[in-house]
Structure 1
Amino acid sequence: MKSLRSALLATALLAAPFAATPALAKSAAPTAQPAQSEHDQLFALFAKSDEDSLKRNPLSALFRGDTRYADRLGDYLTPEYNNAERKAAEDELAALLKIDRTKLSPTDQIAWDVFKYDRTSTLKGLTPEILALTDTRPLNHFFGFHTFYPTLASGKTGIPMKTVADHENSLKRHADYVKLIDRSIAKFREGKANGVLETKLTVRNMIEQLDTQLKLPVEQSPYWEPVKGMDPALPEADRTRLTADYRKAVGEGIYGANTRLRDFLRDEYLPAARDSVGLSQMKGGEKLYSLAIENTTTLPYSAEELHQLGLSEVKRIRDGMEQVKNEVGFKGTLAEFFTFIRTDPQFKRKSSEELTQRYYDIGKMVDGKIGEYFAVLPKTPLQIRPYEEFREKFEAGGSYQQGTPDGSRPGTFYFNAYDLPSRTTPGEVTLYLHEGAPGHHFQISLAQENDKLPAFMRFGGNTAFAEGWALYAETLGYDMGFFKDPYSRQGTLDDEMLRAMRLVVDTGIHAKGWTRDQAIEYMLANSAMGRTDATAEVERYIAIPSQALAYKVGALTIQRLRREAEAALGKQFDIRAFHDQVLNTGALPMPVLEAKIRAWIKATKRG
């Protein structure tokens, strides 16, 4: 995400804002302290905010490779946590407004703007009215600790599992997980009593996820991996004790909590859950969806505006698909062409191993071109892996898990090998460009690696920028010459169509009352997606409203800014410099990004 501007923080040591001053000799006259510059005030605020946030959100620290708070998960879903987050946002916003923005450098002004946006957005989500709609639906099949934690606890994500202390921290996190699951049950009950309910669809999926996990013997679960991989150099007495503690913490603690959650969802919550799938059909859901759109797109769109934008984009992309169909000489309708791609054996992979090798080959192909488009490359390595079996059924076609800033844990491009016959080959290059390089891996790794940025810009962000960049990265396949083959071009059009359809389908479900089946059929009618993928996509939109809207909104913004720069700069336009400008100050809200790129265009023309 960033090649980052060394200019951002030439003095970014971020000294502690409340450091004690040295004691003075009694006979000495008081010495006036020089006033802190606006830059120093700003970055002192950033440093304090980040440190305070890491204490409240220990997992954020853990994923950075910071193990100071590795013995806890956090007290999420408690009034204490929400109150602390709210007070922090209020205090930090007040402190920011005392810093004179006009006296800051242009880059520091961007940081000021992003911090203000971030703190203001946080407060909007922490009102009692909104928390009554969100905290009371703490889990769903797409986003929840019950699916996230097994991978975290496995020790295969770079979380330290070497020393006795590492294992004891892991066991303490297990205890926190149990508390979190029990709090989730209590929150679901609170929502049920107040008429704020999840959908039957998401609840059934969660029950199936939990059933799948609980069927595994403890020794075959991800939770047992730290025991299998325990360092034989550890004292035998410690290894024996830790093994017994893991067996109890997993078998009685985690499995017990997951059983309680599964039984509660199945026996108590499911009968009361909503038959409808749209957020606007839930109590308070219409207001929540409007806020979600604002949060994910960073722009003041209405659901209707996005729906119409989606319909327009779907039509444009269909025209491109018609051209591909004609180019390959397919005789039939576009719908029949989609069926041909879904079903013809030439578009299938025979095994997970073959699919893995294909992604390695694509990676090498991209590596050969990437230097022509980017001046700065991530130091963090990128690895390629299929999803684990326990979660693959409910995952998207691919995703990215960030590495650590120091590169000790690589970034991971996950692909989905579940139900291979339903998956097709034309979109493979596009998926790699999006999730791997130069998509999420570049955007996230370059940001993290740039210690000149304040931490909230290195590690934070927004969906419109992150997913908009990744979708824009797909289109670089045209520049790199990867889509000359018509079927590869169909694959990238199909993926672009997916993001256009999301505008239509997400707003259709959550603002217009569309059903699950109606949404699936719309996606099948307008793309070559298989039914398995279309179903997973629609159920994802049901679970996390508005997130899917951000892809197209962000990508269209970046594409428009590139066209503006090309037109204004002519021969002065440098694609590597443009990409650097987009990425080198982190994941910006769209209005901040637009202002930055336009200022860069003016400066380049003058320069």
Structure 2
Amino acid sequence: MKYASLLLAGSLLTAAACQQQGSRNSQQAPGDSLHQLVERYYDSNMALQPLQATFNGDMRYNDQLPVDIGADFRHRADSFYAAYQQALKGIDTAGLSGNDRITYDMLQRELGLNREALTYHDYLMPVQQFTCLPITLAQLGSGSAAQPFKTKKDYENFMHRMEGFAAWADTAIANMRQGIATGYVLPEKLVIKTLPQLKDLAKKDTANVYYAPLKTLPDSLDAAAKQQLTTDYTAAIEKYILPAYGKLYTFMQTEYLPKARKTSGIEGIPDGRKYYEYLVRSWTSTNRTPDEIYALGEREVARIRGEMEEVKNNVGFKGDLAAFFTEVRNDKKLRIFKTPGAILDSFKAIENKIMPGVKKMYGHLPKSKFEIRQTEAFRAASASAEYQPGNPDGSRPGIFYVPILNAAEFPYPGMESLFLHEAIPGHHFQFSLQQENDSLPKFRRFTWVGAFGEGYALYCESLGKELGLYTDPYMYFGRLTDEIHRAIRLVVDVGMHHKGWSREQAIKYMMDNEPVSEHDATAEIERYMAIPGQALSYKIGELKIRELREKYTKALGDKFSLPAFHDELLKDGCVPLSVLEQKMTRFYGQ
């Protein structure tokens, strides 16, 4: 940890020095000065955020795991961001190119949002069932994610991270005790969902995901070296990992659960309403208010329900839409799989079917490899289908993860739209093209703006008919189900976090407006409870991208090129929606 601190201190000095040098050196172009600043920022930020560095393919800090929920780290992080805010003021924006202006605006936005985030109290609620360090570290420790396990040094690196996790867990418990005392606690229903996860990861059992790398020790080691590494690695698991998860489990079951709050939304914590307004701005990259988003969601739900009625009538169903939801939810004819392998093969068939059309829609295709995998058992129960980006150097492919709890219950109607969103041409294209574009500064190659990334992926679902999909009316109904699902999110997320809705009220609204089981609706609603505001990004971003496509299609007529539109849309990576609109205006000249 000391090494990271030294790097951080050095980065603060170089940031200040950059500002001084910029004022002295009038011969240096503003763009050059900005490029140097953002490169230093990215490298220094990776030292501050070593887990993110690992996911980005930067392996310099694979042994480090700071206690990022501790007061010392948060103070250093704020000083770090403040120094770069000051340095950024030394850049003359008048001489920047359009692309450099994007970089400037995005760094300014990120620094401001990061500093504002540190004024809130999420560090007092560091564990939940959907996304938190105990889950992320287990993924890395599985040996099948971004953390490499190819050499003895790789194993030693992760042993250091295990030690760091023990310190993190102790701080998490101390923070949560502070949260109990001050009213910053999780909803009771979320605490209940964390308990089986923590319990499983605390088990001294070779089925525990942390033992998995011991099954694939490096072939370069001889038998004695493998035995010693096995002994050392097992000892680290049993000294650091199992006790840490065990303490978290015991604390959350016996001490935290009785103090958990009964409210569902983030407005139930002391500064929750203000925090939610921040999260809305952060996730949507707009200035839309929660009430505006709620009203937009209601309009979109009504519009999509109208299309659903048409499909219902076209297939000859005589009941109302609620009855059709029940039919779709329970019809055994829509449950066609017997094994997880058959489900994965079906997704592969979708990939093969669409690729000829995709190549006509996009001028620039990614080089990164792509795989479809079943979600690991330890997190499948609480996971959604998801995409995890590969490494830019090709050492790890982009992976489309599919949670399959029971193959016989896996519904096929939503598979085509799901693939378009999570895989191709959705997240796989967007992430890969962004990371492969070495003309972008690293800061932008590895950044994420939810409204753009998720909005683009949802937009990709609308490409299905153009790609020869949705010929089966139930598949198209699946597409509409996925779209209304994102519209429902606008209503229920704002409903819970801003309008006082209960978890049960949100579950009912979801089940009333899409053919989802109570189990799945519950998992979704509890996800929104865990990460407020994130669910808003999809529909907000998709509507903006669709608006831009329609605008330029109408303006250019026969001269409109869809491949050119898609290439321009993606070439600069994830950008805030306001920046997206500006750059598309520059590209089209209108």
Q: Same fold (TM over 0.5)?
A: yes
Deviation at 1:18, TM superposition (A): 11
Match of 2:482 in 1: 495
2:210 pairs with 1:223: yes
Kindly indicate whether the alpha-carbon contact (under 8 Å) linking 1:352 and 1:386 is maintained by their aligned counterparts in 2.
Answer: yes
2:536 pairs with 1:544: no
- Give the whole-Å Cα distance in 1 for the aligned partners of 2:210 and 2:117: 33
Q: Which moved more, 1:153-162 or 1:258-267?
A: 153-162
Match of 1:166 in 2: 154
Match of 2:507 in 1: 520
2:587 pairs with 1:600: yes
Q: How does 1:16-165 map to 2 (within 5 A)?
A: 35-127=27-119, 130=120, 133-165=121-153
Match of 2:374 in 1: 386
Kindly indicate whether the alpha-carbon contact (under 8 Å) linking 1:342 and 1:423 is maintained by their aligned counterparts in 2.
Answer: no
- Give the whole-Å Cα distance in 2 for the aligned partners of 1:232 and 1:118: 43
2:317 pairs with 1:330: yes
Residue 387 of structure 2 aligns to a residue in which SS?
A: strand
Residue 479 of structure 1 aligns to a residue in which SS?
A: helix
Q: How does 1:273-288 map to 2 (within 5 A)?
A: 273-288=260-275
- Of 448, 471, 475, 1:484 maps to 471
- Give the whole-Å Cα distance in 2 for the aligned partners of 1:47 and 1:63: 18
Deviation at 1:101, TM superposition (A): 1.2
- Give the whole-Å Cα distance in 1 for the aligned partners of 2:553 and 2:170: 55
Deviation at 1:205, TM superposition (A): 0.7
Letter aligned with residue 99 of structure 1:
I
In structure 2, relative to structure 1, the CA distance for the partners of 1:302 and 1:188 (3 Å cut) is same
In structure 2, relative to structure 1, the CA distance for the partners of 1:278 and 1:18 (3 Å cut) is closer
Match of 2:340 in 1: 352
Q: For each residue in 1:247-301, what CA deviation from the matched residue of structure 2 results, as whole angstroms up to 9, or x when unmatched?
A: 2211232111100000000111111110111111222111111111111001112
Letter aligned with residue 297 of structure 2:
G
Q: How does 1:546-565 map to 2 (within 5 A)?
A: 546-565=533-552
Q: How does 1:246-257 map to 2 (within 5 A)?
A: 246-257=233-244
Kindly indicate whether the alpha-carbon contact (under 8 Å) linking 1:471 and 1:552 is maintained by their aligned counterparts in 2.
Answer: yes
In structure 2, relative to structure 1, the CA distance for the partners of 1:158 and 1:82 (3 Å cut) is closer
Kindly indicate whether the alpha-carbon contact (under 8 Å) linking 1:443 and 1:583 is maintained by their aligned counterparts in 2.
Answer: yes
Deviation at 1:40, TM superposition (A): 0.8
Q: For each residue in 1:41-84, what CA deviation from the matched residue of structure 2 results, as whole angstroms up to 9, or x when unmatched?
A: 01000110011101111112212322211111223112232122
Match of 1:212 in 2: 200
Match of 2:179 in 1: 191
- Give the whole-Å Cα distance in 1 for the aligned partners of 2:25 and 2:314: 74
Residue 219 of structure 1 aligns to a residue in which SS?
A: coil
- Give the whole-Å Cα distance in 2 for the aligned partners of 1:229 and 1:101: 52
Q: For each residue in 1:347-375, what CA deviation from the matched residue of structure 2 results, as whole angstroms up to 9, or x when unmatched?
A: 11222121111111111112221111111
- Give the whole-Å Cα distance in 2 for the aligned partners of 1:19 and 1:196: 40
Match of 1:582 in 2: 569
Kindly indicate whether the alpha-carbon contact (under 8 Å) linking 1:72 and 1:172 is maintained by their aligned counterparts in 2.
Answer: yes
Letter aligned with residue 589 of structure 1:
P
Q: For each residue in 1:520-574, what CA deviation from the matched residue of structure 2 results, as whole angstroms up to 9, or x when unmatched?
A: 1111111112222211101101111110011000100111111111111112211
Deviation at 1:187, TM superposition (A): 1.0
Letter aligned with residue 355 of structure 2:
D
In structure 2, relative to structure 1, the CA distance for the partners of 1:329 and 1:187 (3 Å cut) is same
- Identity within the alignment, %: 38
Letter aligned with residue 482 of structure 1:
L
Deviation at 1:162, TM superposition (A): 2.1
Deviation at 1:17, TM superposition (A): 8.9
2:442 pairs with 1:442: no
Deviation at 1:431, TM superposition (A): 0.4
2:311 pairs with 1:319: no
- Give the whole-Å Cα distance in 2 for the aligned partners of 1:260 and 1:352: 35
- Give the whole-Å Cα distance in 1 for the aligned partners of 2:392 and 2:552: 31
Residue 126 of structure 2 aligns to a residue in which SS?
A: coil
- Give the whole-Å Cα distance in 2 for the aligned partners of 1:557 and 1:245: 53
Kindly indicate whether the alpha-carbon contact (under 8 Å) linking 1:356 and 1:386 is maintained by their aligned counterparts in 2.
Answer: yes
Kindly indicate whether the alpha-carbon contact (under 8 Å) linking 1:422 and 1:532 is maintained by their aligned counterparts in 2.
Answer: no
2:296 pairs with 1:309: yes
Match of 2:230 in 1: 243
Q: Which moved more, 1:550-559 or 1:515-524?
A: 515-524
Q: Comparing both chains, which one has the higher relative contact order based on Cα–Cα distances under 8 Å and sequence gaps of 6 or more?
A: 1
When the two structures are superposed, what TM-score results if normalisation uses the length of structure 1?
0.91
- Give the whole-Å Cα distance in 2 for the aligned partners of 1:151 and 1:315: 39
Over 4 Å off, 4+ runs: 16-20
Letter aligned with residue 246 of structure 1:
Y
Letter aligned with residue 161 of structure 1:
F
Letter aligned with residue 292 of structure 2:
E
Match of 2:360 in 1: 372
Residue 143 of structure 2 aligns to a residue in which SS?
A: coil
Q: For each residue in 1:135-185, what CA deviation from the matched residue of structure 2 results, as whole angstroms up to 9, or x when unmatched?
A: 101111111122221220122124322222111111111111111111111
Kindly indicate whether the alpha-carbon contact (under 8 Å) linking 2:67 and 2:171 is maintained by their aligned counterparts in 1.
Answer: no
When the two structures are superposed, what TM-score results if normalisation uses the length of structure 2?
0.94
Deviation at 1:345, TM superposition (A): 1.2
Letter aligned with residue 389 of structure 1:
A
Q: For each residue in 1:416-470, what CA deviation from the matched residue of structure 2 results, as whole angstroms up to 9, or x when unmatched?
A: 2114455421110000010001111111111111111011110012111111011
- Give the whole-Å Cα distance in 1 for the aligned partners of 2:58 and 2:116: 29
Kindly indicate whether the alpha-carbon contact (under 8 Å) linking 1:58 and 1:73 is maintained by their aligned counterparts in 2.
Answer: yes
- Give the whole-Å Cα distance in 2 for the aligned partners of 1:485 and 1:160: 42
Kindly indicate whether the alpha-carbon contact (under 8 Å) linking 1:569 and 1:601 is maintained by their aligned counterparts in 2.
Answer: no
Number of matched residues? 571
Kindly indicate whether the alpha-carbon contact (under 8 Å) linking 2:569 and 2:584 is maintained by their aligned counterparts in 1.
Answer: yes
Unmatched segments (≥5 aa) in structure 2: 1-13, 19-23
- Give the whole-Å Cα distance in 2 for the aligned partners of 1:350 and 1:523: 28
- Give the whole-Å Cα distance in 1 for the aligned partners of 2:326 and 2:410: 12
